[in-house]
Amino acid sequence: MAAEATYRRPEIRKDATHNRWVIFSQARALRPSNFKSKSDANPKSNNQSECPFCVGHEHECAPEIFRVPADSTSDWKIRVIQNLYPALNRELNFPSCPSDSSHWSGDVAVSGFGFHDVVIESPVHPVHLADLSPAQVGDVLLAYKTRIDQLRTFDSIKYVQVFKNHGASAGASMSHSHSQIMALPVVPSAVSARIESMKEFFEQTGKYSDKAVDLGGLLKLMLVKMSLQLNNPPFNFMIHTAPLQVNPSQVPSTHWFLQIVPQLSGVGGFEMGTGCYINPVFPEDGCESFERSPH
Amino acid sequence: MAAEATYRRPEIRKDATHNRWVIFSQARALRPSNFKSKSDANPKSNNQSECPFCVGHEHECAPEIFRVPADSTSDWKIRVIQNLYPALNRELNFPSCPSDSSHWSGDVAVSGFGFHDVVIESPVHPVHLADLSPAQVGDVLLAYKTRIDQLRTFDSIKYVQVFKNHGASAGASMSHSHSQIMALPVVPSAVSARIESMKEFFEQTGKYSDKAVDLGGLLKLMLVKMSLQLNNPPFNFMIHTAPLQVNPSQVPSTHWFLQIVPQLSGVGGFEMGTGCYINPVFPEDGCESFERSPH
Ligand SMILES: Nc1ncnc2c1ncn2[C@@H]1O[C@H](COP(=O)(O)OP(=O)(O)O[C@H]2O[C@H](CO)[C@@H](O)[C@H](O)[C@H]2O)[C@@H](O)[C@H]1O
Ligand SMILES: Nc1ncnc2c1ncn2[C@@H]1O[C@H](COP(=O)(O)OP(=O)(O)O[C@H]2O[C@H](CO)[C@@H](O)[C@H](O)[C@H]2O)[C@@H](O)[C@H]1O
């Protein structure tokens, strides 16, 4: 952690060609991995003695933000901590312009101010999110909400992305069950485009998800079904929300949702070039077999 | 190839939430892979006897579109062929609306009409694009151009994506050196956004790439440097062009370019959620070490 001082400060630059932000952060290069290789579903070791996220190893982690229950000691259920190799820098006295941009010929760059947290979802190594009870899964979702509400108080934070990587080929470097929260000083253009697109869809159809559901139970059900039917695939999930300062005209069409993406096949140059995806399964066929499955 | 008749016809549907097209094509599920696993740089076998793209195995491939040189027999250098497991269907008498969309509640769907071709870049298995001479690499680029000019004659084709997947973790299923060309009846929204963004950048700065270069030589140089310095990484490249029917107001800012993306680290939920990328290397630092390298 002392080494952090020698990093170049992170920076966020606009890629003018693709109209998207890119975060440059040297700290990210140093993060360890406890998977043998990208294709391995199984980590190097399930040995608590090597994992900083396991109970009893709290001192090997970056500082804690809060734990659940709040007054717990070694009987904690969830810990929200700082990421030890953050993509963004949480120091508020950070200059608002990049210090050295002499090499950089682009037009837009902002300092890499922001927050990058880790949510440890279970105190013990082999227990994954899908193994928790519906109420415990609900507590993880509530921990996200609590942290988002804290991050919302910073005027300069414009968007919060909650996401989970499960399995090495879904990008995970740590096998202990966890998710991450990143708070950004910019609104990603994919987010603005999504908000705009949902607004259009809403105006044309009047449709949006209007059901209040027991989300902890539903998320557990989805994770268990996916694990059983697709043989515990690597997956990502993302919580898509509105930007923190949302335009009031967009309120009726803006709702948050959770997207789960199992990694069944990779992507290639076509998807990278066009942003279009190719899917060998029509959704109505996929739904049918999903609905028929045991639960 | 006879089995193709039993597939559901491909369809292209608009994902209203993310404002992007998704291609549904059952044929894609059947394509074979000659890599052992995603993480393997090395294919199962370099044995010509098993590879349909090798010289002497032309009969194991879907029909040829053209070869280079045009009048060659078994001494061909490049073959442009149909993809045997195409994402899109090239039959022109294809209905313009999907036949059965009773299950589909979205608003926009078009039939999966289009072209999906493979460019075999070398007659022999172990020779990769970077091993060819600058002139031969130039011939591959010219083959793309010839094919794009053919595809341009179809009024209903709106965008052509040329791309290459090298290595299993870059998505490749075939290890024999090749690239692909897909001709779409829609303009992907990422392409429209790029064109719009380049137009803005051009209007603000008046800048764009104005150098005519020896592209065959340059591409070879880049591929060789990347292979030497980054230890032959899996990579993708994409040729980004303007849509075929481009708005004249965009002409001065619209130029095509080739983007090479080595797969050095994967992506995770953050990138999937926001479309922003995290890079541990600042571009000016990366350029310096690239420029210092032998060539
Ligand atoms: N005998 C034969 N004759 C003609 N064609 C043959 C053939 N045998 C195989 N093919 C075709 O050859 C192509 C080889 O392509 P690549 O290795 O670049 O990747 P692929 O398209 O499989 O998928 C990658 O690229 C696509 C597009 O980016 C992604 O959707 C996908 O996830 C990723 O794995 C395949 O498309 C296959 O259908
Ligand atoms: N002792 C400790 N204390 C606190 N934190 C610690 C720690 N040891 C490790 N960490 C952090 O724990 C996190 C674990 O995260 P994940 O396993 O979900 O994927 P990671 O962020 O590495 O990268 C994946 O997700 C990101 C974001 O999507 C992609 O950029 C990337 O390519 C993909 O591999 C890492 O970010 C790491 O920095």
For residue range B206-221, list pLDDT tens digits in order.
665 855 567 888 899 9
What is the reported pLDDT for A295? 45
What is the reported pLDDT for A256? 80
**Tokens matching residue A45:** 């070791």
Considering chain A, what percentage of its residues have pLDDT values greater than 90? 44
Tell whether the model's pLDDT for residue A169 goes beyond 70.
yes
- As a whole number, mean pLDDT of residues B63-77 equals 96
Tell whether the model's pLDDT for residue A1 goes beyond 50.
no
* B239 within 8 A of B260, measured Cβ to Cβ: no
Which span out of A14-23, A59-68, A226-235 was modeled with the highest average pLDDT?
A59-68
Q: Measured between alpha carbons, how far is A82 from B188 in angstroms, rounded to an integer?
A: 38
**Tokens matching residue A274:** 């066009």
Say if residue A61 carries a ligand binding annotation: no
What is the reported pLDDT for B162? 95
- As a whole number, mean pLDDT of residues A264-290 equals 79
Catalytic residue among B103, B128, B166, B178: B178
Residue with tokens 């090395």: B42
The confidence band for B248, taking pLDDT boundaries of 50, 70 and 90, is low
pTM recorded for the entire structure: 0.83
Closest chain B CA to residue A181: B270
Tell whether the model's pLDDT for residue B121 goes beyond 80.
yes
Residues of A in contact with B184 (CB under 8 A): 274, 276
Tell whether the model's pLDDT for residue A189 goes beyond 50.
yes
CA B146 to each of CA A42, A294, B62, B178, B257: distance values in angstroms, whole numbers, following the listed order? 47, 53, 19, 16, 17
The confidence band for B293, taking pLDDT boundaries of 50, 70 and 90, is low
Residue with tokens 């959770």: A258
Residues of B in contact with A198 (CB under 8 A): 16-17
Among B1, B21, B31, name the best residue to mutate to test ligand 1's pocket (greatest count of ligand atoms within 8 A of Cβ).
B31
| CB pairs A-B closer than 8 Å | 229
Q: For residue B146, give the amino acid letter.
A: T
Q: Do A272 and B236 touch (CB under 8 A)?
A: yes
Q: Measured between alpha carbons, how far is B31 from B25 in angstroms, rounded to an integer?
A: 12
Element (H, E) at A14: strand A11-15
Domains of chain B, with CATH numbers? 2-292 (3.30.428.10)
What is the reported pLDDT for A161? 95
- Nearest Cα neighbor of B106 from B10, B8, B27, B18 is B18
Instruction: Considering only residues A160 and A282, tell me which one the structure prediction assigns the higher pLDDT.
Output: A160
CA B253 to each of CA B197, B210, B250: distance values in angstroms, whole numbers, following the listed order? 10, 11, 6
- Nearest Cα neighbor of A104 from A186, A184, A22, A29 is A22
Residues of A in contact with B38 (CB under 8 A): 38-39, 169, 266
Tell whether the model's pLDDT for residue B3 goes beyond 50.
no
The confidence band for A14, taking pLDDT boundaries of 50, 70 and 90, is confident
Residue A280 CB contacts under 8 Å (≥ 6 apart), including other chains: A265, B24, B25, B26, B27, B28, B29
- As a whole number, mean pLDDT of residues A56-84 equals 97
Tell whether the model's pLDDT for residue B242 goes beyond 80.
yes
Mean of all residue pLDDT scores within chain B: 83
* Gap from CA of B115 to ligand 1 centroid (Å): 13
What is the reported pLDDT for A292? 61
Shortest Cα distance, chain B CAs vs residue A16, angstroms: 6
The confidence band for B1, taking pLDDT boundaries of 50, 70 and 90, is very low
CA A9 to each of CA A116, B265, B283: distance values in angstroms, whole numbers, following the listed order? 14, 21, 14
Residue A192 CB contacts under 8 Å (≥ 6 apart), including other chains: A243
Q: Do A20 and B276 touch (CB under 8 A)?
A: yes
Instruction: Considering only residues A95 and A240, tell me which one the structure prediction assigns the higher pLDDT.
Output: A240
Give the ligand with the smallest distance to the CA of B275.
2
- As a whole number, mean pLDDT of residues B87-96 equals 76
Q: Do B19 and A237 touch (CB under 8 A)?
A: no
Does residue B178 have an active-site annotation?
Answer: yes
